[in-house]
Amino acid sequence: MSSSIAPYPAGIEALSDRASASPESGIVEVLNYGMGRQGIIPLWAGEGDIPTPAFICDAATAALAEGQTFYTYQRGIPPLRNALAEYTGWLYGTPNSFERFFVTGSGMQAIQTAILLTADPGDEIVYHAPAWPNLPAAAEIAGVTPVSVAMQFSETGWHLDLERVFAAVSARTKAICVNSPSNPTGWVMPKEDIGALLDFCRGRGIWIIADEVYCRFVYGDVRKGAHGRPLAPSFHDVITPEDRVLFVNTFSKNWAMTGWRIGWIEAPESIGIKLENLIQYSTSGVAAFMQQAALAAMQEGDEFAESVISDACRGRAIVSEGLRKSGRCRFAEPDGAFYAFFGIDGEPDTDKLGLRLVDEAGIGIAPGRAFGPEGAGYMRMCFVRRPAGLSDAMSRLNLWLAKR
């Protein structure tokens, strides 16, 4: 020690307000508690039980062997940006410029970047809740106030009242965030509401941050996309290329790449240079060999993506049947995404239920409070998994419920 001066100690109180106020994710709390437990069935996170398929991994391996290990384009490698434009055109039937696409180091980073692009410290963003907690948490860390609009639950499912969204907008509101299909509620924004929200935002110059990560996970009687398969209504259906709309997306869900941390933003071309700068000053781009894997997912991954969507369809049926069988769950089959978000009669306090179910039932489920106070009393269970594990999980849950 060179110093005779006693240090101020470190510790949480020594941190910035935004860091010390940052909440622990209630999902991560359960995950950290249960990860690695013998025999646990983990349904806490939004990921399946199938590793990334070999054709995607092989593309990364080949790129590594070729020496694609140097700095690369901050916006993403041109072939991947082209593929993203083609993929989006394939889904929505509208031609799209590769200049609108920017590769990010996860869908999460896409959200963080979208917030920074649109809002300054002291500004507000409006979002609907229950919501994936990372959205409001990222806003707070950016110095931006997240303003939540509560959704309503009924027997027919979750509902968002657009008038409440409009009422939550203030002079400081810079963006409205829509996550449809929604994690955790499974809600899908109706086509008419998408048009109405766009009109509202157009009239005021407010940005829309559209998280349509689960766009291909929709169930029941839904419209078919340009690619001929089920597809949720989208802001792609109503915007012009220079509308103030930012799409945040990820490779995680469709192609079983949750652990990779690679996503993208679709944005008006005219803001490209500033989007590039924000990437530069956060992670400085995504590894080229990872992008080659993402390119393989885009180009050769349709069959695999369809198999994941099929797993979700089957999983939805298994979980819905199991919850109905319990006779004690408040629940509506979700229209989209791949989560059951349900309440349990006689268990009003679900905050620590996730931890208890790890210990007492051998299943990992996230507490609804992890998705904001609007989620209190509910639990979220991921169902994008192979049938056997899900059936087993439902048996365990119902056995546990029967004992209580």
H helices, E strands: number in the chain: 13, 15
- Judged by beta carbon, residue 184 or residue 343, the one nearer a second copy is 184
Q: What is the dihedral of CA 137, 385, 363, 395, to 10 degrees?
A: 140
- 311-370 binders of a second copy (CB under 8 A): none
The 10 Å Cβ neighbour count of residue 23 is: 11
- The answer to whether 391 and 319 are in contact (CB under 8 A) is no
C-alpha span between 235 and 245 (Å, rounded): 8
Binding status of residue 258 toward a second copy by CB under 8 A: yes
Stretch that binds a second copy, among 83-91, 157-165, 262-270, 294-302 (CB under 8 A): 262-270
Q: Which is nearer to a second copy, 19 or 402 (CB)?
A: 19
* Single residue of 40, 41, 43, 60 touching a second copy by CB under 8 A: 60
Q: How far is the CB of 350 from a second copy (least distance, A)?
A: 21
User: Per CB under 8 A, which region of 91-99, 203-211, 302-310, 395-403 contacts a second copy?
Assistant: 203-211
Element (H, E) at 144: none
257 binds a second copy (CB under 8 A): yes
Q: How far is the CB of 21 from a second copy (least distance, A)?
A: 9
Q: Which is nearer to a second copy, 137 or 340 (CB)?
A: 137
In the complex with a second copy, which residue's Cβ is closer, 287 or 363? 287
| Beta pairing class for 207-211 and 124-129 | unpaired
Instruction: Please state the φ and ψ torsions of residue 335, each to the nearest 5 degrees.
Output: -80, -20
Give the nearer residue to a second copy in terms of CB position, either 292 or 350. 292
What is the closest distance, in whole angstroms, from the C-beta atom of residue 161 to a second copy in the complex? Answer: 20
Q: Which stretch binds a second copy (CB under 8 A): 31-39, 161-169, 295-303, 310-318?
A: 31-39
Those residues whose C-beta lies under 8 Å from the C-beta of residue 276, and which sit 6 or more positions away, are 74, 75, 102
Three-class SS state of 391: helix
Name the one range near a second copy by CB under 8 A: 146-154, 256-264, 372-380, 392-400.
256-264
Positions 103 through 142 that interact with a second copy (CB under 8 A):
105-106, 108-109, 112, 116-123, 134, 137-138, 141-142
The site string for a second copy over 8-27 (x = CB under 8 A, - otherwise) reads: xxxxx-xxxxxxx-xxxx--
Nearest alpha carbon to residue 233 among 193, 275, 272, 202: 193
Query: What tokens appear for 151 in the block?
Result: 């959704």
- Is 261 among the residues that bind a second copy (CB under 8 A)? yes
User: By C-beta, is 109 or 185 nearer to a second copy?
Assistant: 109
115's enclosing H/E stretch is helix 107-118
- Tokens 């002291």 — which residue? 122
Least distance to a second copy from the beta carbon of 321, Å? 27
d(Cα 177, Cα 87) in Å, to the nearest integer? 23
Q: Which stretch binds a second copy (CB under 8 A): 155-163, 272-280, 296-304, 352-360?
A: 272-280
- Choosing from 273, 303, 403, 404, the residue that interacts with a second copy (CB under 8 A) is 273
284-303: which residues touch a second copy (CB under 8 A)? 284-290
Spatial CB neighbours of 125, under 8 Å, sequence gap ≥ 6: 115, 118, 119, 139, 144, 145, 146, 147, 173, 174, 175, 176, 177, 209
What is the closest distance, in whole angstroms, from the C-beta atom of residue 329 to a second copy in the complex? 26
Distances (CA, A) of 346 to 7, 154, 317, 365, 373: 51, 18, 24, 17, 19
Tokens 């594990």 correspond to what residue? 389
Q: Which of 71, 156, 171, 224 binds a second copy (CB under 8 A)?
A: 71
Q: Which is nearer to a second copy, 17 or 221 (CB)?
A: 17
State which residue, 11 or 346, has the beta carbon closest to a second copy: 11
Structure tokens at 121: 């410290």
Report the nearest approach of a second copy to the CB of residue 341 (Å). 20
Q: Pull the structure tokens for residue 404.
A: 């209580």
Cβ 155 to a second copy shortest distance, Å: 30
Q: Is 47 in the site for a second copy (CB under 8 A)?
A: yes
Q: CB of residue 73 vs a second copy: minimum separation in angstroms?
A: 8
Burial status of residue 185 (CB atoms within 10 A of its CB: 0-12, 13-18, 19 or more): buried
Closer CB to a second copy, residue 9 or residue 228?
A: 9
